[in-house]
A and B are shown apart, each in its own frame.
Chain A
Amino acid sequence: MDLTLSPDEEAFRDELRTWLETHHPGEEPKGDEEEAFAFRREWQTKLHEAGWAGVSWPKEYGGRGASLIEQAIYSAEMVRARAPSPANVLGLAMGGPTVIGHGTEEQKERFIQPILSGEEIWCQGFSEPDSGSDLASLKTKAVKDNGDWVVTGQKVWTTFAHHSKWCMLVARTDPDVPKHKGLTYFLMDMEQDAVQVRPLRQITGQAEFNELFLEEARIPDENVIGGVGNGWMVAITTLMNERSGLAFGAMAQVRRDLNDLIEVARENGLDEDPVTRQRIAQLHMEVEALRINAYRGLTGIMKTGQPGPEGSLGKWAWSDINQSLTEAAMEIRGHEAPIIDEAWTYRFLRARANSIEGGTTEILRNIIAERVLGMPKLR
């Protein structure tokens, strides 16, 4: 075991840290959503110009070709500096890697560059009102018509749809084969009348998510990714990239938030309170276990090329931790905790989605039971 960074990795970290010190854009404007998004777009342009967008992408596609460890360092440093998210989170974490993995040369040529620059924002059209955890049962259908695909259906939980140019859309192209086999992965232009976006207000009050209504939307055949009927396999790539791409940032975020929580405990005079101390200690242990398991998983991926069981546990552990951490913050703030507050209200309410988005905890437990422990399937 050796948890030290190599000189190259240290240099990577120091270069990023120094760059962030001089280029950090300050805090994201609160309140006006449009203004906040414009701010994040500008931030992404800055990142891109300095070569700090898409660090995990291969160099030939405009990325930095960063190693897994450098990606982990990158996420941790961004959180440490409290840097805002770039505007095109889904394009960077999921869209780009999916096009790079499954796209044709023409598609790479067309789509990659504007993702990095933030010129074209991406969203993800997977979930539907009747197809959440059972994603493969989705009903949005695509029918071939004169070289185009004509798509009709409804998508939900579509983050940033209202800002997006492209949607990673999974639709049913063959209703007569088993459900996983009849799906196709498309890149759909959002700028057409047949695509209606309706903001979906969350319990936080914000509308980061949307509903998408598709009424004979048109997609040219050249925007199929990975071949007709292979949509499930391509979608899995997107979801795997989501899980691993966001893991190290999420891990660094709970560590930072735990430090904030300890400060709140001190401010409220509860740092000597035995119950509070036990709770903080438990959170510290769980955050540490998450961090160490992420590095164990990373070592496993470097060795075998495959994510190990630690990976599937990580997202579940993170959502549990973030929920109990924000609950602890409310308890520590006591009587005044329900008063809307810039630091904690959003975090507390937003955390409820953690155990649902990107695979519910129940589905993750099924995956762990069936694929890691080899337990019999219910279905």
Chain B
Amino acid sequence: MNFDFTDDQRTIKSTAKEFLAARFKADKLRELAEGGEYDSAIWDEMRELGWAGIFIDEEFEGQGLGVVELAILMEEMGYALAPSPFFSNAAAGLLIQHAGSEDQKRKWLPGIASGEQPGTVGEIKNGSAPLVSDAEDAALIVLFDCDRASVVERSAADVQKVDTIDSTRRFASVSAEGGEPLEGDVQAGLDRIATALSAELTGLAQRTMEMAVDYAKERKQFERPIGAYQAVSHRCAQMLMEVESARALTYFAAYAADAEPEELSLAASAAKAYASDAGWRVSASALQVHGGIGFTWEHDLHFFLKRAKTDGHLFGTARQHRDRVADLAMARTAAATA
């Protein structure tokens, strides 16, 4: 029994934190967020570090690590609010790894692992996918509808840019006919994608909490730092409660993905439901701590808040995941008492 990262995992975490902090300094982040752009040189560096294929099997030219390592990177991506196609590409890799045939994996995973032929994943609603991240520059797009999924080439899809509140990630609508179906376990891929997003939400919540705490220590009103008032400090304590709970559920889901896959569905939905709420609530609470300045465009907080809200609506909302948690948790109780 040991609920902690290994030394190797810790190294991945600290390397990612340092790398992302150095690349996405405040000015750079603002420039990219306001322009709705990525920096392709930084993405190239991430690819050279092997991040794109971190969880992909070595036989398909990935690093052969697991969802725990992916979650570590995603948490740091959230913390840094990194604008990058990393998540979209990983999502495609996860779906193809779990739902693709051997041939399909051989065909697509190496390009995803190197990031040279990046992928993305979109959810079909009423015949087309209205909100797909990074579809414009993807080489392939996995479209899913419940537990059916198929892969379409970018060139065969109609891709239209969509503006969302989150300008740190690029979105498009996608419609396409046909494509190559993935016959394997689509849900296993989706559960891992939800886990990865929960990790990003945890990182976003952690960062906005830190912004609020730092501000509350500095900002003075009525001759003392506002953090000395319990109305403010208790709000921050609540943030920590939600951050640590989101983190716990996320790490457990990542652990389950790698070590106890029979636990994954319930764990992934619990993580995504909780982290979706926490990502929004913590960042919104951080805005309140900042007061008027937090509502201005000049302050960076809103970029985090908008990514958090948007993440909460990708790959299942909190409400949808809670409904699934209810199903699975109740079935478990029935089995235990039967």
Contacts and interface: CB of A to CB of B under 8 A. Distances in A.
B330 A280 contact: yes
Query: Number of contact residues on A: which range applies?
Result: 35 or more
Contacts of B2: 1-2, 299, 302
Contacts of B241: 313, 316-317, 368
Contacts of B323: 274, 277-278, 281
A368 B240 contact: yes
A174 B278 CA distance: 48
Contacts of A262: 329-330, 333
A280 B245 contact: no
A30 interface: no
Contacts, number: 161
Q: Is the interface of B mostly helix, strand, loop or mixed?
A: helix
Interface stretch (B11-19, B21-29, B128-136, B223-231): B223-231
B5 interface: yes
A202 interface: no
Given A262-B333, A365-B230, A375 B325 contact: no
Interface string A1-29: 11111100100000000000000000000
Interface stretch (B151-159, B251-259, B279-287, B303-311): B251-259
A314 to B, nearest CB: 10
A281 B248 contact: no
A271 B330 contact: yes
Contacts of B144: none
Query: Number of contact residues on B: which range applies?
Result: 35 or more
B293 interface: no
A295 B248 CA distance: 10
A103 B330 CA distance: 49
B3 A372 contact: no
Interface string A265-294: 110000100100110111011101110110
B165 interface: no
B1 A369 contact: no
With most chain B CB atoms within 10 A of its CB, the pick from A266, A286, A293 is A293
A338 interface: no
Contact of A303 (B4, B252, B325): B4
B251 A292 contact: yes
Contacts of B68: 1
A365 B274 contact: no
B233 A299 contact: no
A211 interface: no
B32 to A, nearest CB: 30
A288 B333 CA distance: 14
Given A309-B244, A316-B241, A373 B236 contact: yes
Contacts of B233: 365-366, 369-370, 373, 375, 378
Nearest to B234: A365
A2 B325 CA distance: 24
A128 interface: no
Nearest to A274: B323
Nearest to B252: A292
B320 to A, nearest CB: 10
Contact of B244 (A3, A313, A366): A313
B329 A374 contact: no
Interface in B320-338: 322-327, 329-330, 333-334, 336-337
Interface in A358-373: 362, 364-366, 368-370, 372-373
A284 B326 CA distance: 8
A169 B236 CA distance: 35
Nearest to A277: B326
B249 interface: yes
B259 A285 contact: no
B270 interface: yes
Given A277-B322, A369-B233, A376-B227, A317 B240 contact: no
Contacts of B333: 259, 262-263
A317 B2 CA distance: 22
A263 B337 contact: yes
18 contacts: A1-B2, A1-B3, A1-B4, A2-B1, A3-B255, A259-B336, A263-B337, A266-B330, A266-B334, A277-B330, A281-B324, A282-B273, A289-B245, A300-B4, A369-B234, A369-B237, A373-B236, A375-B216
Interface of A: 1-6, 9, 69, 259, 262-263, 265-266, 271, 274, 277-278, 280-282, 284-286, 288-290, 292-293, 295-296, 298-300, 302-303, 309-310, 313, 316-317, 362, 364-366, 368-370, 372-378
Given A278-B323, A366-B234, 4 more contacts: A280-B326, A281-B322, A296-B4, A373-B213
